[in-house]
């Protein structure tokens, strides 16, 4: 009789354990599918034309409207991978980036990721460090200029 009770208790414990594991897997899969955001089938990726040195003019004081728009773009498309400090998240932190890189380099990295990773040694070094290729966020040249203005604001330019 005791062995039957032990068998029943073990069977019930195993059933509870396996059923609870199965439920969490389903929840993980549901959560995972919710996190993936795909580009709609009818929307193609856009790639900007290369921005050459001298094509970007930065001014002081900052354009407050561009800073605000750039911040909105950052919050929507960038902050999941980039912090505003020098701390690396998925990609490198943004603190001091406008002092280390030329404006045209930054804007090309935002709008022409594939070109930069294929041709630019500094972009290739960043890929080696971060181990994750930056996705194309379909950001226009004008939007990238606004993100640059927000980056400048983050670096203390007034």
pLDDT tens per residue, range 56-109: 999 999 999 999 999 999 999 999 999 999 999 999 999 999 999 999 999 999
Local confidence band at 47 (pLDDT 50, 70, 90 cut-offs)? low
Q: Nearest to residue 104, comparing CAs of 57, 141, 146, 53? A: 53
> Could you tell me the pLDDT band of residue 140, with boundaries at 50, 70 and 90?
very high
Give the pLDDT score at 49. 83
pLDDT tens per residue across span 14-26: 444 444 444 444 4
Q: ω before 61 within 30° of 0 (cis)?
A: yes
Give percent above pLDDT 90 in the chain. Answer: 68
Give the per-residue SS3 of 28-76. Answer: HHHHHHHHCCCCCCCCCCCCCCCCCCCCCCCCCCCCHHHHHHHHHHHHH
In this structure, what token pair is assigned to residue 51? 């921005």
What was the pLDDT predicted at 27?
A: 42
Average pLDDT, the chain: 81
Q: Which phi and psi (to 5°) does residue 89 adopt?
A: -105, -100
Domain 65-154: assigned CATH number: 1.10.760.10
What contacts 131, CB < 8 A, 6 or more positions away?
none
């Amino acid at each position: 009789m005791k062995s039957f009770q032990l068998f029943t208790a073990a069977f019930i414990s195993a059933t509870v354990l396996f059923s609870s594991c199965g439920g969490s897997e389903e929840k993980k899969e549901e959560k995972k599918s919710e996190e993936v955001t795909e580009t709609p089938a009818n929307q193609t990726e856009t790639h900007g034309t290369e921005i050459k040195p001298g094509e970007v003019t930065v001014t002081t004081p900052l354009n407050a409207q561009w800073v605000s728009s750039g911040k909105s773009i950052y919050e929507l498309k960038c902050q999941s991978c980039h912090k505003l400090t020098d701390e690396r998240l998925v990609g490198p932190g943004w603190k001091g980036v406008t002092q280390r890189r030329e404006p045209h380099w930054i804007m090309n990295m935002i709008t022409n990721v594939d070109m930069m990773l294929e041709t630019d040694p500094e972009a290739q070094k960043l890929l080696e460090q971060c181990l994750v290729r930056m996705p194309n966020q379909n950001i226009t040249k004008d939007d990238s200029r606004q993100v640059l203005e927000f980056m400048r604001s983050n670096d203390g330019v007034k």
